[in-house]
A and B are shown apart, each in its own frame.
Chain A
Amino acid sequence: MRPGSVGRRLVACLALAFAASAVTVAQVQWPVSGPPAPLPARPVSFPPYQLKTLANGLRVLVVLHHEQPSVSFRLLVQAGAMQEPSARPGVASLVATLLSQGTTTKSAGEIAHLIESAGGIIGTGSLNELSYVNGAVIKDQIDLVLGVASDIVQRPAFAPDEIERQRNQAYSALKVSYDDPDYVADLVFDRLVYGFHPYGRPNQGTPESIARVTRDDLVTYHRTWFVPNNALLAIVGDLTADEAFRAAERAFGSWPRREVPPVKTIDPPAPARRVVVIDRPGSAQTEIRVGHLAVPRTHPDFVPFDLTMRVLGGEGANRLFGVLRTDRGLTYGASAELHTFKASGNVVAETDTRSAATGEVLRLLVNEFFRLQREPVGPGELRGAQDYVAGSFPLTIESPSAIAQKVLAHLFYGLDLEEIERYRDRVERTTPADIQRVARQFLRPEQLSIVLVGDAAAFVDQLKALGFSDFERIPLGELDLNTPSLRRGGTAPAPPVEDPPPA
């Protein structure tokens, strides 16, 4: 249903030629006309927000919004897969899940009942390098909900029966996820790009690692990282800044500060070409991922690199969408992105297609990586991406939650808050020459990690014909992310990883 963004101007021109033979559906004489001129524009700037650091080091952001009688909040703890013990993937995820499953004073049922009876909602989760507790509530209950949030963040019980319950849930969830080609493709792709670096580990763990997690693992990880000086809190909604800061102080002011240790990890491996086919017989489509290691969020070339990937597969230009969908009807969705984290990042192009078209889609996709290096982007294409990124600024500050997210992201990555306003200028100043420089400096079309999850028998011959004959074919049931060969029974041990020191 998502028609998405559009292809190249060239394509549009070709299409115009077809228009002469169009089947006219119109019932009437509809006049020829051009698009109308815009109305006068109103100036737009980033809305006000306030920041304050509590005595215990918790940074609190407040964005006011008085239209609806609600308040929402988001608490970020700067710990995730990156901070969990390397031999225990899944610890960060289990801790996040277990936060709301009982504290030293309230059972899981009591927490759910308190929140839901107040007309509130709370969610928890974890990613590569952060964990979050977020929620929303009708405004008269904000103290209650923040109080519960504070309790679950500071004093989770990690009761043995709750651990077992969530362990079982995690097994079942993995069983379903491993049957989802989209999930498997992401999993294998991250593993290829990041190797045994934490970003390459499955955040949800594996059945084996989940089985090995002990209560001590959970308690230690939580005690080490869940401290106010390692967290950010945003409160957004229908209250005054003073009320918001006081509510934050009441709920989180007594959360004791403690220093957090540095994190030591191995580096991700340098990009190296590898083509992995995960065989899932009977698949209706092949899930495709193509990309490699790139740069962290704080890299000085982030803006031109991000625009480069938008030309390849983002709003406003999207070559992949044009080539694969608009021109050929080979897929429903095609996109490319620069994913960035604190320590590193990656580029990835992704799509899915019917099994029989796998080879053609892969060829077209890889070719687009080469083309970005080979020829400069057309000024119109870059303009499209720039116009979208710069022009959509008013849309990105519509909701107070979106405003808070933007500020939180800058605080989280340690970026200058002035960058929020400067960003549009930096986008506008980028030239086609910048794009080609970045494409040549950072893209590695010869060293792509390629993952295909689908019915291998239906397309492996195509791969051979197209020069991808060096692929590894692994039945889904034999996939083992722990071995360098990715196959179960692979004997070589994974490289050693230094664990963060215990608290």
Chain B
Amino acid sequence: MIKRALSVVVAVVWLGGATGPDTIIRPTKFDYTMTTLANGLQVVFLEDRSTPIVHLALWYHVGSKDERPGRTGFAHLFEHMMFKGSRNVRPDQHPSWITSVGGQANAFTDEDATVYWETVPAQYLPLVLWLEADRMASLEVTEQKFLTEREVVKEERRMRFENQPFGRLSEIIFDKAFKVHPYKHQTIGSLADLEAASIADVREFHATYYVPNNATIVLVGDFETRQARELVERYLGKVPAGKPVPREIPKEPPQKGEERHTVTEPWPLPAVIVSYHITYDGHPDAYPLHILAKILSDGESSRIYRALVYEKQLAVAAFGEAKLIEHPNLFYAVAIVAPGRRSEEVQRELQAQLDRVKTDGVTAEELSRAKRQFARDYILGRDTVQQKALHLGHAVVIHNDIKTADGEFDLFQNVTMADVQRVARTYFTAESRMLLTVQPRAGEVAPRPTGGGR
């Protein structure tokens, strides 16, 4: 048995060499420049003259993992406040200015960062720099605006999390999987904590985190770098540096043994989850973990889809993801249980798909497919100025190394079958496993409406 497995491995390694990385067309490299202003603001420029537009992404290195207990959801609530006025910009005037020049503006917050962006016709680059400088240096928010916007964020939570089937899925998974690290809570936070937030918190948060030494600007589009550099210096160079940014984030202690949880939710079908604690984004193991997730879960030829949805029809939908972010997070797989199937059976099969990699590894064909899928995502994900800026900003802020924006392509293409099996063995351990089942609350399963045809 061992001998046969070995010969298969040898055969496929050879095949992998023939059809693998060498044949994949390399994406175009980013021709960026990077500078740091005297106040600590990092700035990245990437010229792209194909369309006369420019995209600005301003990253603040603060997310929901920086929130203190009792203030979950605050980083995101604060993001909303950044549209509520500054010294020279009236409340809500920022987006109004942007749309009036035919541009788009928005922001998003995740566990690790808060990103503000504008895409505008290229001639309006000075306007967006001026707007960002103003709210970095001089946020001015009234109590009334704060209270109204807090209601908006509560509605956002109700809409995204509470009023949709499976809306709280990620909230449940991470709450059960983490003990002390703030990844335990969702970026949206809890209603009670949102309610507890005050205008004083807004002031403190801005002073602590919204300083140039905690920020990175990425500009991509139709400009001349020398001129853009002058403009950035003119508008953002004046913002005074802040104090060093505190990073007192509690570490998650290693899990000591398998965890099993069952909870109930008013969902139409049960969901089963299998998760393992893994490493952080940028760790050498992150690349094979990502490739492993693709082999298990990307497309209809992936293992989880093939086994659970197609062949055995145990699940309505099933997927797995290596959540690779700034601090160690989870590899988790979810299956929505098909009507008439037992949750235990589906969960067992899901776990088996993950664990099988430890014993049997993956095939050369699977590895080659995953690398091509990765290359496809990599290339298609660098189409627009916004996408390009996202990759550059992520490299600078989360990896603290802009070279990864291009360099990761080779790291992924160099992953071997042995790497993939090794990370499965390293992380898919019983001590680190969580088996979570979410059952529909008895008697609350939505009845099925009828009609439509005759």
Tell me the A residues contacting B by CB distance below 8 Å.
1-7, 11-12, 15-16, 18-19, 21-28, 30-42, 44, 67-70, 72, 86-90, 100, 108-109, 112-113, 115-121, 136-140, 165, 168-169, 171-176, 178-182, 184, 201-202, 205-209, 212, 280, 282-285, 287, 315-316, 325-333, 352-354, 383-384, 387-395, 397-399, 401, 476-483, 488, 493-494
Q: Is the pair B138, A3 in contact by a Cβ cutoff of 8 Å? A: no
**CB-based nearest A residue for B316:** A172
Range class of the B interface residue count: 35 or more
Q: Is the pair B91, A482 in contact by a Cβ cutoff of 8 Å? A: no
Shortest CB-to-CB span from B296 to chain A, Å, is 13
Q: Is the pair B158, A493 in contact by a Cβ cutoff of 8 Å? A: no
Shortest CB-to-CB span from B349 to chain A, Å, is 17
Given contacts A119-B373, A172-B269, A326-B92, contact A109 B301 (CB under 8 A): yes
The stretch among B20-28, B274-282, B283-291, B423-431 that forms the contact with chain A is B20-28
Q: Which residues of B contact A44 (CB under 8 A)?
A: 51-52, 121
User: Which of A6, A25, A384 lies in contact with B207, CB distance below 8 A?
Assistant: A25
B17 close to A (CB within 8 Å):
no
User: Which of B149, B306, B451 lies in contact with A481, CB distance below 8 A?
Assistant: B451
B361 close to A (CB within 8 Å):
no
Q: Is the pair B266, A19 in contact by a Cβ cutoff of 8 Å? A: no
Q: Is the pair A332, B159 in contact by a Cβ cutoff of 8 Å? A: yes
Bound-state Cα–Cα, A336 to B387, Å: 28
Q: Is the pair B454, A329 in contact by a Cβ cutoff of 8 Å? A: no
Q: Is the pair A40, B383 in contact by a Cβ cutoff of 8 Å? A: no
28 contacts between A and B (CB under 8 A): A1-B107, A4-B95, A12-B91, A15-B85, A15-B90, A18-B91, A19-B91, A25-B206, A26-B87, A30-B87, A36-B130, A72-B380, A113-B301, A165-B313, A173-B316, A179-B165, A181-B163, A208-B450, A329-B151, A331-B155, A352-B158, A389-B102, A391-B100, A394-B121, A395-B53, A398-B385, A399-B383, A479-B449
Q: Is the pair A388, B338 in contact by a Cβ cutoff of 8 Å? A: no
Bound-state Cα–Cα, A174 to B376, Å: 32
Q: Which residues of A contact B150 (CB under 8 A)?
A: 329
Please count the residue pairs between chain A and chain B whose beta carbons lie under 8 angstroms apart in the complex: 377
Bound-state Cα–Cα, A349 to B123, Å: 34
Q: Which residues of A contact B316 (CB under 8 A)?
A: 169, 172-173, 176
Bound-state Cα–Cα, A108 to B24, Å: 25
User: Which of B100, B145, B269, B336 lies in contact with A384, CB distance below 8 A?
Assistant: B100
What mask results when residues 443 to 454 of chain B are scored 1 for a CB within 8 Å of chain A, else 0?
010111111111
Bound-state Cα–Cα, A72 to B380, Å: 9
B144 close to A (CB within 8 Å):
yes
Given contacts A23-B143, A117-B368, A393-B102, contact A87 B453 (CB under 8 A): yes
Given contacts A19-B90, A26-B87, A108-B300, 15 further A-B contacts (CB under 8 A): A1-B79, A4-B106, A7-B96, A26-B140, A30-B87, A36-B126, A70-B379, A117-B368, A173-B316, A175-B448, A179-B446, A394-B102, A480-B449, A480-B450, A488-B449
Bound-state Cα–Cα, A352 to B161, Å: 13
Bound-state Cα–Cα, A136 to B145, Å: 45
Q: Is the pair B92, A476 in contact by a Cβ cutoff of 8 Å? A: no
Q: Which residues of B contact A175 (CB under 8 A)?
A: 268-269, 339, 446, 448
Q: Is the pair B141, A25 in contact by a Cβ cutoff of 8 Å? A: yes
User: Which of A41, A100, A401, A477 lies in contact with B52, CB distance below 8 A?
Assistant: A41
What mask results when residues 105 to 139 of chain B are scored 1 for a CB within 8 Å of chain A, else 0?
11111000000000111111111001100100111
**CB-based nearest B residue for A139:** B25
Bound-state Cα–Cα, A318 to B165, Å: 29
Bound-state Cα–Cα, A157 to B92, Å: 55
Shortest CB-to-CB span from A285 to chain B, Å, is 5
B142 close to A (CB within 8 Å):
yes
User: Which of B124, B145, B199, B268 lies in contact with A18, CB distance below 8 A?
Assistant: B145
Q: Which residues of B contact A482 (CB under 8 A)?
A: 450-454
Tell me the B residues contacting A by CB distance below 8 Å.
23-28, 50-53, 76, 79-80, 83, 85-88, 90-93, 95-97, 99-109, 119-127, 130-131, 134, 137-145, 147-156, 158-159, 162-166, 199, 202-203, 206-207, 222, 235, 240, 242, 266-269, 298-302, 306, 309-310, 313, 316, 336, 338-339, 365, 368-369, 372-373, 375-376, 379-380, 382-385, 444, 446-454
Q: Is the pair A354, B155 in contact by a Cβ cutoff of 8 Å? A: yes
Q: Is the pair B80, A3 in contact by a Cβ cutoff of 8 Å? A: yes
Q: Which residues of A contact B240 (CB under 8 A)?
A: 27-28
**CB-based nearest A residue for B366:** A117
Q: Is the pair B126, A399 in contact by a Cβ cutoff of 8 Å? A: no
Given contacts A2-B106, A18-B142, contact A333 B376 (CB under 8 A): no
User: Which of B87, B102, B152, B452 lies in contact with A331, CB distance below 8 A?
Assistant: B152
Shortest CB-to-CB span from B423 to chain A, Å, is 22
**CB-based nearest A residue for B82:** A3
**CB-based nearest A residue for B81:** A25
**CB-based nearest A residue for B300:** A112
Shortest CB-to-CB span from A69 to chain B, Å, is 4
Q: Which residues of A contact B452 (CB under 8 A)?
A: 89, 201-202, 205-206, 208-209, 480-482
